[in-house]
Structure 1
Amino acid sequence: MARPTCAIDDTSGCLNNTATSTFTTTTSPADADGSGNSLNATDLTGTAGWQSGKTVTIDGATITLPEFGTGAYDNMLASGQTVTLPDSGVVNTGAAVVFLAFATGAPVTNATGTITYAKNNCLDPNGVPSDQSYDLSAVPDWLSGPSSAASITLVHENHSDDTQTSPSSGPKVYAISVPLTCPGSVISSVSLPQLTNGVQAGRPALHILGLGVRPTTATGSGSSARHWVGTWASVQDTGKVQSSDGSTAAVDSQTLRIPAHVSIGTDSGSGVRVHLSNAMGATPVTFDAASVALQDTTAAGATAAAAPATLTFDGSPSVTIPAGGDATSDPVTLTVEQQATVLVSLQVRGMAPAMPGHSVARTPVWVSDHADRTSDTDATHYTQTTYTGLPYLSGIDVTTSTSNPAGSLVLYGDQSVNGGTASADGRHHLSDAITDALADDPHGDASVRYGVLNAGADSNSLLPQITSSTSPFGVLNPLDRDVLTQGNVRTVLVSTGATDLLNCTGNAYTCATEVEDGLASLDIRLSGYSTDDSQLSINQQPVTQNSDITVYLATIAPFTAAHPGTATQEAAREEVNTYLLDNYPGQIIDFAAAVSTDGNATSSTVKAADLSDGNPSAAYYADLAGRYVDDIDAGALIYPPN
């Protein structure tokens, strides 16, 4: 019997289950788990802003949603359906396929499918077509799965007995990305895993609301061809940016002006685009106007050097981003030098009682009166806020050479990368220190040759689940959103595990092993992604050359007086560092040795010169950056970056 087939922008022919319902005094027919339970459609369409039958952009991929709450089928129970990608009208080439999905009954296993490339695409070096398998077994259960990885967490669960509850964990929908082994090749179809075409209580099932392809950072063709690279980034780790007094920051029809200290500058094309995110938001947000400008180097603050360039989104001056979503601006022309400060201005429509963003940004943010001030050059109508976090702005890309494009280095981690004790001027994070060290490197040419992006977060959920799958394994957030969506990632420096150790209450061996296994899984997961530049042409046909992302692992620096560890946690830290040094030669950046009193990875204290009131100082981050550059210069690493 032939499996159902449908198009990626109209999946109606593949839908076979009703998982959403409306609730008033009765519940419309729906059954997501075999027990008559379902998602509340109003939470999706009203509260979160996921409009029925429309598109939503999640983790860079535009996905067409089904109709919710009508009583008709509204999701694909994975049972071997084939989703085709038309030749036009949809994104059919990219870096990853992103699925909006959730499991019921329990997490699924053996959820493997196939991505089929179009004729004469994704050839191996012998010219043989090379389709790829993938695995969605990482998709969590809608109720018991982690909230930290969810794209959206709903408030209500509807039941077939005409009742409605609000589970403490909340029903969740996840975005999971599958890396393409041939980024940039045309995809003809995606075959879903063949699991089950019906739901039964207690039996695992995989529900897919939709899927889309995340584009590569190469856009256009011919004279309009551009290649983009990330120059600045900030990850969302809170749904409520706070002020210094602990209150939730809010705006009402005001304009935010946010500074971003970039790394690499624009090429001769002088192109800039901006990424906005509502990933941690619970409701939609609309920006009525947006702009970008260089900061005046003399006046500094919220003063622009010249009239800001107006940003548009698909040609419109305004953009609405639903909960869990993101948006990328159209390109504008703006010459940006390396290490410059860019000002991004956003006018928020109406009242925003809470703003998602980066919780500990150490960056000033200005806010205007109740008006659109995005086009203002001077700072007359702006006042510096007391925000401790940075709302909405998630990234800035610049154009790079199309013939020899630059890549980016992403710093992924917790305490050291996040820089919660850095100077509060937005210019002294680890990413800034590495950028400065590259520019000042006596072995270099004073240029910053690649983007340096900060993906640090205050979180102890950065280590992924362990897997032994041989298929490209789907990647959940925050890893996908914070790292793999960044502009032209070629290298990832992982510096995490300290927070996990400080939260571990087991013995030293158990605590160390959990972190070691997590770091090993991160290495496997990240290195399974190909870079945007991983193809070459043979006889004018795209051929994969398996140019995978390079992964560096940092040893864990000693705990500080501000974040002290127990003797057991310190023993675990030393065990982790020994494991890294023994098992990953050529991939290690020895951050611990760079800042420790004794200059080695197992020293238990940070040298006094790198501390201020028990916290890491600017000298601490400079020493970490210096160690990175020294290791690169000395050829101590197997793979050179970018």
Structure 2
Amino acid sequence: MTFTNSVRRTGVTLLAAATLTALPLTGAGAGAGAGFGTGTTAVAAEHRHDGSWRGAWATSPQYPTAPFAPNWSQQGFSDHTVRQVVRVTTGGTKARIELSNRYGTKPLRVTGATVARTAEGASVKAGSVRQLSFGKGRSVTIPAGATAYSDGVPFTVAALESVTVTLYLAEETGPATFHTFSSATSYRADGDHRSDRDGAAFKESSDSWYYLSGVEVSGGQAPRRDGVVTFGDSITDGVGSGLNANDRYPDELAERFAAAGKPRGVVNHGIAGNQVTNDWAWAGEKGIERFKKDVLTEPNVRTVIVLEGINDIGGSGLSVPGQPTTPEVTVEQLVEGHRELIRQAHAKGVRIVGATLTPIKGSVYDTPVNEAKRDAVNHWIRTSGAYDAVVDFDRVVADPADPDRMLPAFDSGDHLHPGDAGYRAMAQALDLDAL
């Protein structure tokens, strides 16, 4: 399968390697470790063995930290209700949620949880609130380092519909596993407001997600293995896109599938600042470790798109206050990190698409050394044949008059992250049939 004519014209279409359709349809693994290589994850038996569930929304858990702006992760919660709005990418007639205590220091007690259709802000639509259960009980205790799944509840939801998940945390939680950049507003209220229809009690807000790491659906279509996971750093995470706008490139990709009449799960496992080769406490475990936890535990995944490495390059030798200096990363080390991601995906029968690293000229990462590394890594991604396919995001968003710089119309303003138009162009560059 090739797209050479389109590539010659624009340089933006997915380039498919000969192995794209040759991988076996074996399931992705369900086990995962916790906390920077230690601990265990408690995965429900239903999740391991029932192939009917599909990932509709997801985010990657992170260690409690506040490197950029205040959030609620370090202090945690006590007699609080947390209400979070997410948009699902595929629909069904039954739903369940995934909760993560991966970086918790003690067991997490969730007193109760609900799911509902979103109205406006923290309010939900009348008559749509559904109480969630966990092993038939309304509450659940999640051990430190573990993950829990609610029981499935009848809940008809359509692709691209927003749903509201509400958690009541009566007991003191300690520091909270969360996701820093949500590009979405979460809400907090004192006391138990899990079943409230209006949002009047929710006086506080945050632009992060807490404990909620997934929404899965079943029913509405025959089970099939066609899910797409997007894996990477802040550009996959959607930094630079509008708040509550769902304009990250994975969102735009999900919209293309829906518009084509074939919606499917497209879940986002980007973490701002994340690296392939190094842990940063404020930016998640290194990609080669979290890939098996975040990507390969998703149900019915067919393809993963990897866009990661610019922080390995730009972050070499840098430090965040209170954190150790990040080691220098060579091109060879970064390439080996990508090869490790490919090995992990292929071992689980998952197709893996490599994305070239986008321009950095004019950004905080712009140095001759870093640009030379970026060019070398991109050359390897384009020409090595190691990935099953390649999408050339570099050429998609580059300024034709200055290819090392992002096209101004696509630039969020920091010359590193695309804005909404740039993310839309990236999603348009992916071939839906190849995915």
Distance 1:579 1:273, change over 3 A: same
**C-alpha displacement at 1:618, in angstroms?**
0.7
User: Match for 2:63 among 207, 221, 238?
Assistant: 238
User: Match for 2:292 among 461, 480, 496?
Assistant: 480
One-letter code of the match for 2:271? Answer: A
1:288 equivalent to 2:111? Answer yes
C-alpha offsets along residues 399-441 of structure 1, whole Å, 9 cap, x if unaligned?
146744253100011121112222121622222121123334x
Distance 1:95 1:215, change over 3 A: farther
**C-alpha displacement at 1:217, in angstroms?**
5.9
Give secondary structure in 2 for the equivalent of 1:351.
Answer: coil
1:612 equivalent to 2:431? Answer no
Distance 1:594 1:99, change over 3 A: closer
One-letter code of the match for 1:527? Answer: H
User: Match for 2:159 among 338, 346, 349?
Assistant: 338
1:304, 1:377 within 8 Å by CA — same for their partners in 2? yes
Alignment of structure 1 residues 270-281 onto 2, 5 Å: 270-281=93-104
One-letter code of the match for 1:264? Answer: T
Could you tell me which residue of structure 1 aligns to residue 138 of structure 2?
Answer: 317
2:60, 2:269 within 8 Å by CA — same for their partners in 1? yes
**C-alpha displacement at 1:305, in angstroms?**
1.3
**C-alpha displacement at 1:215, in angstroms?**
5.8
Could you tell me which residue of structure 2 aligns to residue 366 of structure 1?
Answer: 187
One-letter code of the match for 2:80? Answer: Q
Could you tell me which residue of structure 2 aligns to residue 519 of structure 1?
Answer: 338
Q: Percent identity?
A: 25
Distance 1:317 1:99, change over 3 A: closer
**C-alpha displacement at 1:510, in angstroms?**
6.9
Could you tell me which residue of structure 1 aligns to residue 233 of structure 2?
Answer: 414
Q: Mean Cα displacement is larger for which, 342-351 or 419-428?
A: 419-428
Give secondary structure in 1 for the equivalent of 2:429.
Answer: helix
**C-alpha displacement at 1:395, in angstroms?**
0.2
2:236, 2:269 within 8 Å by CA — same for their partners in 1? yes
1:96, 1:213 within 8 Å by CA — same for their partners in 2? no
Q: Mean Cα displacement is larger for which, 336-345 or 484-493?
A: 484-493
User: Match for 2:267 among 449, 453, 463?
Assistant: 453
Query: Unpaired segments of 5 or more residues in structure 2?
Result: 1-26, 280-286, 319-327
1:291, 1:346 within 8 Å by CA — same for their partners in 2? yes
Higher relative contact order (CA 8 A, sep 6+): 2
Q: Which has the larger helix fraction?
A: 2
Could you tell me which residue of structure 2 aligns to residue 558 of structure 1?
Answer: 359
Give secondary structure in 1 for the equivalent of 2:331.
Answer: helix
1:364, 1:384 within 8 Å by CA — same for their partners in 2? no
Distance 1:263 1:213, change over 3 A: closer
Could you tell me which residue of structure 2 aligns to residue 593 of structure 1?
Answer: 395
1:275, 1:329 within 8 Å by CA — same for their partners in 2? yes
Aligned equivalents of 1:563 and 1:294: distance in 2? 41
Q: Which has the larger strand fraction?
A: 1
Aligned equivalents of 1:246 and 1:464: distance in 2? 24
Alignment of structure 1 residues 65-464 onto 2, 5 Å: 96=29, 98=31, 149-152=36-39, 219=50, 227-240=52-65, 244-245=69-70, 248=74, 250-266=76-92, 270-296=93-119, 300-307=120-127, 308-370=129-191, 372-385=192-205, 387-400=206-219, 403-425=222-244, 427-440=246-259, 444-445=260-261, 447-448=262-263, 450-463=264-277
Aligned equivalents of 2:207 and 2:177: distance in 1? 12
**Count of residue correspondences:** 389
1:302, 1:382 within 8 Å by CA — same for their partners in 2? yes
Distance 1:303 1:227, change over 3 A: same
Aligned equivalents of 2:31 and 2:168: distance in 1? 30
Could you tell me which residue of structure 2 aligns to residue 603 of structure 1?
Answer: 403
2:277, 2:337 within 8 Å by CA — same for their partners in 1? yes
**C-alpha displacement at 1:97, in angstroms?**
7.0
Could you tell me which residue of structure 2 aligns to residue 470 of structure 1?
Answer: none
Distance 1:484 1:586, change over 3 A: closer
One-letter code of the match for 1:303? Answer: S
**C-alpha displacement at 1:353, in angstroms?**
4.5
**C-alpha displacement at 1:525, in angstroms?**
1.3
Aligned equivalents of 1:412 and 1:249: distance in 2? 28
Give secondary structure in 1 for the equivalent of 2:251.
Answer: helix
1:495, 1:556 within 8 Å by CA — same for their partners in 2? yes
**C-alpha displacement at 1:324, in angstroms?**
0.7
User: Match for 1:571 among 367, 372, 379?
Assistant: 372
Distance 1:462 1:575, change over 3 A: closer
Could you tell me which residue of structure 2 aligns to residue 493 of structure 1?
Answer: 305
**TM-score when scaled to structure 2?**
0.81
C-alpha offsets along residues 105-134 of structure 1, whole Å, 9 cap, x if unaligned?
xxxxxxxxxxxxxxxxxxxxxxxxxxxxxx
One-letter code of the match for 1:230? Answer: G
**C-alpha displacement at 1:310, in angstroms?**
0.2
User: Match for 2:426 among 624, 632, 635?
Assistant: 624
Aligned equivalents of 1:216 and 1:309: distance in 2? 21
1:581 equivalent to 2:382? Answer yes
1:261, 1:341 within 8 Å by CA — same for their partners in 2? yes
Aligned equivalents of 2:234 and 2:244: distance in 1? 18
Aligned equivalents of 1:355 and 1:464: distance in 2? 22
Aligned equivalents of 2:270 and 2:104: distance in 1? 19
Distance 1:319 1:97, change over 3 A: closer
One-letter code of the match for 1:494? Answer: V
Could you tell me which residue of structure 1 aligns to residue 9 of structure 2?
Answer: none
Distance 1:251 1:594, change over 3 A: same
C-alpha offsets along residues 154-204 of structure 1, whole Å, 9 cap, x if unaligned?
xxxxxxxxxxxxxxxxxxxx77xxxxxxxxxxxxxxxxxxxxxxxxxxxxx
**C-alpha displacement at 1:481, in angstroms?**
1.6
RMSD over equivalenced CA pairs, Å: 3.0
**C-alpha displacement at 1:265, in angstroms?**
1.0
One-letter code of the match for 2:331? Answer: A
Aligned equivalents of 2:145 and 2:47: distance in 1? 21
Query: Unpaired segments of 5 or more residues in structure 1?
Result: 1-93, 101-146, 153-173, 176-210, 220-225, 466-474, 530-547, 634-639
**C-alpha displacement at 1:565, in angstroms?**
2.6
